[in-house]
Amino acid sequence: MKRSLLLAQALMAWPTAPALAADPVNGERLARRWCAACHVVSEKQTGTVSEAPPFPVVARRPDFSERAVAFFLLDPHPKMPDMALTRAEAADLAAYIATMK
């Protein structure tokens, strides 16, 4: 909760939000490749690292925002490896997560 607030504030201070002509299909491909080791990345997948929130859970949070997730992914927090995603990739991943709302 605290982090989402910080995120929201960071977003508002961020002058150029990513262009969200995002591609959720590419996002799913990226998620399976880069994120599935820790996260449940789809409704079908089972089993995960307990600490990492499943993407369907992230998507259904009341404060979920595609922009916030895309922004979050560009600046990974310490528990996640720096995946050096491009803005387009981060937006695609966020768009993919949003499909699970």
**What residues from 13 to 52 belong to the interface with ligand HEC (CB under 6 A)?**
31, 34-35, 37-39, 51-52
Instruction: Give the position of tokens 């690292």.
Output: 49
**Residue 79 makes contact with ligand HEC by CB under 6 A:** yes
The answer to the question of residue 74 lying near ligand HEC (CB under 6 A) is: no
Total of residues contacting ligand HEC (CB under 6 A): 21
DSSP 8-state symbol, 42 = S
Q: For the residues of 44-80, what is the DSSP string, one character each?
A: S-----TTSPPHHHHHHSTT--HHHHHHHHHS--TTS
Q: Does 82 bind ligand HEC (CB under 6 A)?
A: no
CA dist 101 and 37 (Å) reads 21
Among 58, 70, 91, 98, binds ligand HEC (CB under 6 A): 58
For residues 58 and 97, is the Cβ–Cβ distance under 8 A? yes
Residues that bind ligand HEC (CB under 6 A): 3-4, 31, 34-35, 37-39, 51-53, 58, 69, 72-73, 77, 79-81, 83, 93
